[in-house]
Amino acid sequence: MKIREYIQVKPTGGAAPDPAVICPANGYIDPTDPAQVEEAGLINNPFTPENGWFLITEFQNNSPSTTTFDPAITANSGEYVWTLGDGSTIFGSSFSHQYPTTATRKVKLFGKGPCTITSINLYNDSLVGVVDLSHSAFSSLTSVDLSSNSLLTSVLFPASISGILNNLSIYYTGIVGTLDLSMFTNFTSTASLSLYSNLSLTGVTFAGSVSGILKYLYMYANSNFGYVNLSNLNTSLSYLQWILNNNGWNAAIVNQTLSVIDSISVSGFLGQKIYIGGTNAAPDSSSGGFDGIAAKNSLIAKGFTVN
């Protein structure tokens, strides 16, 4: 069974929202004409509120015909169906699909019933543009992977997330500007945040108050990165590892970052490491109004390794 969204076009061709006419000669049909619908073997999209379905998210992808498109969600409740932009429809939370040709298509995820999604994995799925995860079905997220999507430019999350985050991976993307993560206020004690090699990313906003600990903070090789306020995070965990190197930071940013980490850290934990070198400037005693050398020495005295 094929499911299409009917498109209105101008007689001269091309999409036209209004005014518009149905143009069967261009391959489009009149959805109000049962004969045309039957002849084409198409039906109207049944995933509507009238049938108990609602749109959870939609995004574009341009998966080549030589690769597999394999999005996946983990859900605690609800029914789910994907429409893949090529007439294919798949029920369930995860699948693998190979498009017959390479093109940019709109993928939609519909839900039915109370829907609670705790994880979404769109790793290397040829995402294009914005991925909107702001629907309330995503308000219990604990794991997100949007990595290795070079044409992904933005991601939107719900204003509030009650889930306890264990993993957030957004690396090798084309995300532009500042990434807002202020809705994530709860971390597990061993949470991981991977934000690296996003060359158009300029910053990250964390919540004003956070519970739990980012044990692994991989925030490096973002060449247009500015200062990121880490003052509301927690470092009280053995074997904590924060990698902040190769962001091209000047001494002022390095000094301030080391001073903030020192201010939220205490001694008594094993194997804690801070990496803040590479293309970043070396700390000094005054740039930006912070003494980075003193902050580094203080962290070392508390048991940190600082490189």
- Other CB atoms within 10 Å distance of the CB of residue 22: 18
Half-sphere exposure of 307 (CA within 13 A, CB side): 10
Question: For residue 5, is it within any domain?
Answer: yes
Question: For residue 50, is it within any domain?
Answer: no
Q: What is the DSSP string of 11-47?
A: TTSSB-SSS-B--GGGT---TT-HHHHHHHTEE----
pLDDT for 58: 94
Asked if 200 and 175 touch (Cβ cutoff 8 Å), the reply is yes
Beta-bridge partner residues of 241? 216, 273
Half-sphere exposure of 31 (CA within 13 A, CB side): 10
One domain for residues 301 and 170: yes
pLDDT for 25: 46
Question: For residue 122, is it within any domain?
Answer: no
Question: For residue 62, is it within any domain?
Answer: no
One domain for residues 39 and 169: no
Question: For residue 70, is it within any domain?
Answer: no
pLDDT tens digit at each of 307 positions of the chain: 344 444 433 344 444 443 334 444 445 555 555 445 444 545 457 888 888 999 999 999 999 989 999 999 999 999 999 999 988 999 999 999 999 888 999 999 999 999 999 999 999 999 999 999 999 999 999 999 999 999 999 999 999 999 999 999 999 999 999 999 999 999 999 999 999 999 999 999 999 999 999 999 999 999 999 999 999 999 999 999 999 999 999 999 999 999 999 999 999 999 999 999 999 999 999 999 999 999 999 999 999 999 9
Asked if 277 and 245 touch (Cβ cutoff 8 Å), the reply is yes
Question: For residue 244, is it within any domain?
Answer: yes
Burial zone of 289 (CB within 10 Å; 0-12 exposed, 13-18 middle, 19+ buried): exposed
One domain for residues 40 and 175: no
**Domain total for the chain?**
2
Asked if 60 and 129 touch (Cβ cutoff 8 Å), the reply is yes
pLDDT for 29: 53
- Other CB atoms within 10 Å distance of the CB of residue 182: 17
Cα angle 298, 286, 239 (rounded to 5 degrees) comes to 30
Burial zone of 207 (CB within 10 Å; 0-12 exposed, 13-18 middle, 19+ buried): middle
Model pTM? 0.84
Sign (positive/negative) of CA torsion 137, 141, 143, 149? positive
The one-letter code for the residue type at 101 is T
CA gap 3, 17 in Å, rounded: 20
Domain that holds residue 288: 164-307
Question: For residue 154, is it within any domain?
Answer: no
Question: For residue 51, is it within any domain?
Answer: no
